[in-house]
Chain A
Amino acid sequence: MDALIQEFFNVPIMVRVAPMILRGLTETLLLCVILVPIGALGGLGTMLLATSANRLARGFAVVFIDLFRSFPPLVLLIFVYSGLPFAGVRVSPLLAICVAFFLNASSYYGEIYRAGVLSVPHAQIEAGRSTGLTAGQTFLYVTLPQAVRNVLPELLSNTVELVKLTTLASVISAPELLHSADLARSLTYNSSPLVLAALIYLVLLWPVVRVIRRLEHQLAPQ
């Protein structure tokens, strides 16, 4: 028992490495602030293609979504980060992370939005159009708000997944939370820094998971 506490919950070590880990946390938060909006926007674009009247656009969106849903994000990241330099394209870790996770997140968000848009009854669109709204206005003011509401738990849960995905950046040595914790682990020969990082992720994400649980419960068909 004592050995367990020494290895995993060593408070002096946690205190010592805290500044280092907090610097990692700011990088992780920065990554999230970049990735969530571009992923959500990319998803919106993907969804527009996937639900458009143009067959070519729809086909492209389907292939895009399925391709990146079957591509493990870590493989994609390493492909972008260490594959492209061989072809003469130099990418910084940050750019590689943004490109790889933009592709990944766009396909996941796109699929969720698509399901949301399809869940809005067609009569809503007809009603919107018949009151004189243009197609664009109908989409923006009638379809989209209902679509987002219908898939809110899935959207939130995908956002949690995206935040969790930022840990993969540590594999290409981007200085985010997990990377700084792992560095601290190798400096202290102790797993407590990793546990501290896990606790920080819990503080960030546990409340969101709880909210998702509540939302799923509220929206579930009776």
Chain B
Amino acid sequence: MSGLDRFVATFLDLEVGLRYGPQILEGLVTTVGIGLAVVATGLACGLALAVLRAFGMRPVNFLLIQIVDILRALPPLVVVLIIYFGLPSVGVVIPSAVVLWLSLSAILAAFSEEVFWAGITSTPTGQWMAARSTGLSFLQTLCYVILPQAVRVAIPPLTNRTIAITKNTALGSAIGVNEILGQATSAEAFSANATPLLIASVLYVLIFIPLVIASHALERRHAVWRR
């Protein structure tokens, strides 16, 4: 068998692809669902935490910074495994997809809190003073004046991080979530053929490459490289 034939038989087996395609597409639905849930929850919590930090309550902020740093330092798979194996032993039983969603959301919240906070602090103090002197309350200033500017600054650095964390939905395969990778590896084991893995890889690239390209475009539009 020549090299090319062997490659085709291993990675491009049409029959295997057709047999396991539907199963992998089901995984696609799960991946996209969990991914969207993680992005929504993570970013919303991150923004909420950044707003909380803006109130400047020292003990709260101290605690917040420690928790954010811990979540930034811990490998996602460690967080996923501790929650997945630990909670049932203390009587809390949650589905593995929920474990994945919670862990990744917490991690995204930690990273995005930091970026949103950087956005808030980068807004000139004059903006605060001007808004307050027109009679807006602290909260109104934050919501109507500061946050719209802060969020705009935060979007380009956030897209990269959000993509990187959302890609981690593939970790679900380690705890039995039937997302793309999980479906593909079990199909690979059943069929003794690598075609399902190639299908999975193509699906991931198809999901994420538009986002990566969009993030480049965003970066170019907001390019403010420090000089």
CA distance A67 to B205 in the complex (A): 7
CA distance A34 to B183 in the complex (A): 32
Q: Is the CB of A83 within 8 A of B170?
A: no
Q: Is the CB of A83 within 8 A of B11?
A: yes
Q: Is the CB of A83 within 8 A of B6?
A: no
Interface residues of B in 115-166 (CB under 8 A from A): 118, 121-122, 163-164
Interface membership of A51, Cβ < 8 A? no
Chain A contact-residue range equals 35 or more
Interface string of A101-120 (1 = CB under 8 A from B): 00000000000000100110
Interface membership of A4, Cβ < 8 A? yes
Given A69-B163, A70-B211: A190 and B197 interface contact (C-beta under 8 Å): no
Comparing A13-21, A40-48, A136-144, A194-202, the segment that makes contact with chain B is A194-202
CA distance A140 to B225 in the complex (A): 21
How many whole Å from A41's CB to the nearest CB in chain B?
21
CA distance A2 to B69 in the complex (A): 27
Q: Is the CB of A178 within 8 A of B78?
A: yes
Interface membership of B59, Cβ < 8 A? no
Among A82, A194, A202, A210, which residue has its beta carbon within 8 angstroms of that of B86? Answer: A194
Interface membership of B63, Cβ < 8 A? no
Interface string of B164-190 (1 = CB under 8 A from A): 100111110110000011000100100
Among A121, A201, A213, which residue has its beta carbon within 8 angstroms of that of B227? Answer: A121
What are 7 pairs between A and B in contact, CB < 8 Å?
A3-B90, A71-B204, A72-B208, A119-B225, A167-B77, A202-B70, A213-B114
